[in-house]
Structure 1
Amino acid sequence: MINNYFFDFDKTLASSGNASVSATKEAYKSMGLTVPNTNSILSYMGIPAEISFKKMAVEKLDSKQILQLTDKFRSIYQDVELQSTKLYPGILEMLQQLSHEKKNLFIVSSKKTDAVKRNLKNLKIIGFFNAVVGFDMVKNYKPAPDGILLLIDIYHLNKVESIMVGDAKYDIQMGHAAGVKTCGALWDAFDVQGLTKAHPTYLIDQPKQLLKLE
């Protein structure tokens, strides 16, 4: 039986529309850098901007420039995220049912913790979750298992009863590394092939299917 659910946020529970892509492009443009294309940006979603932005840059960037770039991105993104971020169909009902069944629900995200909480509050779903772990709360980011292991340690959770749910291969790789079950969420996954090749325990295309997993 699954009692502990670790969720990714972006493109798993909610969509921010084009906000992340447009904010990324605007940040690069504002610093006079080569602007990455949409597919490149989407392919790196799931890992922190501090890592992905350096990988996407054509120019060689030092740590100060990366900090400026990510700060600019988050400033632009925050201006539009609340208007553009929406829950996927079926997510609220799924969370309500899991909560009714007294399951333990957590968020493990590559976003900053305060940003995820801001989104959860705006979407009026923060009350469903026991805790939120962003990339700023761990030493090693996805696909390292640190976020999940931190929560398992704090809440004394059984790995056998735990599952990581996400739309990206990084989520599945993190779950495998943590020793928990994994579930690929297909409803807005950018890289379905990569997600499938990561060999999740389960693959689902509707949130309600999560309720039937064991």
Structure 2
Amino acid sequence: MTIKGMIFDLDGTLLDTIEDLRDSVNLAMDRFGYARYTSADIKQKIGDGMKVLIQRCLDEEASEALVEEVIQVFLQDYNRRQFDKTAPYDGIMEMLQTLNAKGIQVGIISNKQNANTQSIVDHYFKEIAFTFVSGEIQGIDRKPDPTLTLRCVEAMKLKPEEILYVGDTKVDMLTGHNAGLKTVGVTWGFRDRQELIDHSADYLVDHPGELLKFII
């Protein structure tokens, strides 16, 4: 297997964003009279886009209008604080720098809103050369739909068997497989090893540096 490209999820894979997300969720919950959530709670609710995150934090009876109101409060706060506590996981920068140095193409596909995805990647990874970066785009189905991942594959001009999809949740494993790619589940993210196994991760890694074994 000759790997020439890797496509990464963002939250829970490259960046630990959970505390900033939790704080913005809780500000919105406080504003509308709902219970607050711990980081562990948010880790279980995240992964399917911002709207689904907010829906999961509200009760089942919440109207669409209320969901949209809460989203606006959440977004206004998150846009202000998204760089406060977020940081790359240990070893991520070194791993990405090594991939760049060895000519391995890298891309990012996230279910985070595209504007936030672009700004946060520019902030934390401005020294890394990415072939393709995209968050959720209106009118295009989010992961595990493979549309944006396939656009990344096309931009890389590589064969599917030359690319790995790397992520921390079942959504990522499904996304990679839906795009015809081998998947790597990372165990340092928001979900546990068993979820990755249950959703047919082709490989598991416990540290970012272990990804380099695929390019040797």
Task: Give TM-score scaled by structure 1 length.
Answer: 0.90
Aligned partners of 1:108 and 1:133 also within 8 Å:
yes
Provide the residue aligned with 2:6 in structure 1: 5
2: distance between equivalents of 1:21 and 1:96?
A: 29
2: distance between equivalents of 1:183 and 1:130?
A: 19
Counterpart amino acid of residue 24 in structure 1:
V
Counterpart amino acid of residue 149 in structure 2:
I
* Post-superposition CA distance 1:107-160 (Å, at most 9, x none): 100111221221122214364211211112662112222221122234433111
Provide the residue aligned with 1:48 in structure 2: 49
* Percentage of identical aligned residues: 27
Aligned partners of 1:40 and 1:56 also within 8 Å:
no
Unaligned 5+ residue runs, structure 1? none
Provide the residue aligned with 2:165 in structure 1: 164
RMSD of aligned Cα (Å) = 2.0
1: distance between equivalents of 2:127 and 2:196?
A: 27
1: distance between equivalents of 2:38 and 2:180?
A: 35
Provide the residue aligned with 2:106 in structure 1: 105
2: distance between equivalents of 1:197 and 1:138?
A: 30
After the TM superposition, which of the residue ranges 7-16 and 52-61 deviates more from structure 2?
A: 52-61
Aligned partners of 2:17 and 2:86 also within 8 Å:
yes
Provide the residue aligned with 2:63 in structure 1: 62
Provide the residue aligned with 2:129 in structure 1: 128
Counterpart amino acid of residue 143 in structure 2:
K
Counterpart amino acid of residue 56 in structure 1:
C
Provide the residue aligned with 1:16 in structure 2: 17
| 3-state SS of 1:61 partner | coil
| 3-state SS of 1:184 partner | strand
* Post-superposition CA distance 1:33-70 (Å, at most 9, x none): 45456544211222101123223321423333222212
2: distance between equivalents of 1:83 and 1:211?
A: 30
1: distance between equivalents of 2:71 and 2:4?
A: 36
Provide the residue aligned with 1:210 in structure 2: 211
Q: CA deviation at 1:196?
A: 2.1
Q: CA deviation at 1:4?
A: 1.6
Provide the residue aligned with 1:193 in structure 2: 194
Is the aligned partner of 1:81 residue 2:82? Answer: yes
Provide the residue aligned with 1:178 in structure 2: 179
Task: Give TM-score scaled by structure 2 length.
Answer: 0.89
Aligned partners of 2:14 and 2:89 also within 8 Å:
yes
2: distance between equivalents of 1:79 and 1:122?
A: 13
Counterpart amino acid of residue 32 in structure 1:
G
Aligned partners of 2:19 and 2:86 also within 8 Å:
no
2: distance between equivalents of 1:180 and 1:24?
A: 33
Unaligned 5+ residue runs, structure 2? none
Aligned partners of 2:5 and 2:156 also within 8 Å:
no
Change (3 A) 1:126 1:7: farther
